[in-house]
Amino acid sequence: MATAAKTTVYPHIEKTDGVRAGKPCIAGTRIAVVDVAIAHGQGYTPEEIQSLFSSRPLTLAEVHAALAYHYDHPEELEDYLRRSGQAEEQIAALKAKAQRRQAGR
C-alpha cells in the first residue's frame, strides 16, 4: 500500500516567482537558501551568517530554517553549482573567442 508524500513546511522560507528566479529564499528578502548554504560550506557559523548579508540582519531561526531546507534538498545546491560552472565555462569561451577576434584585427 503506497502512502501519500508529505510536504514539509519550512518556516521563514518562501519561493516567489520573479525573485531570484524562483529559488527558495528567506521570507521577505532576496537571500536565497543556496547563499546561506554556500556561506555555511565556506565555514561561516550560523551566528556569523546572521550579519553576513547586506539586506538586513537575519534571525538565527531564519538561518537554521535555510540550512534545514538545504539539508533536505541538497540536489538544489548541486544543480545551482553545476549550472554556475557551465555558465562560467560559457563566459570563458566567449571571452576567448572575443580575444581571438581582436587579435586577428
**How far is it, in rounded angstroms, from Cα 93 to Cα 56?**
37
pLDDT at 13: 97
Would you call 63 exposed, middle or buried from its count of C-beta atoms within 10 A (0-12, 13-18, 19+)?
Answer: buried
Instruction: Please report whether residue 5 resides in a domain.
Output: no
CA separation for the pair 73, 7 (Å, rounded): 13
Domain span at residue 85 reads 13-103
3 in a domain, yes or no? no
CATH number at residue 35: 1.10.10.10
Query: Total structural domains in the chain?
Result: 1
* Any domain includes 73: yes
Residue 51 maps to a domain: yes
Assess if residue 77 is contained within a domain: yes
In a domain, 78, yes or no: yes
Instruction: Return mean pLDDT, the chain.
Output: 88
The reported pTM is 0.75
Residue 95 scores a pLDDT above 70: yes
pLDDT 10s digits, 18-51? 999 889 999 999 999 999 999 999 999 999 999 9
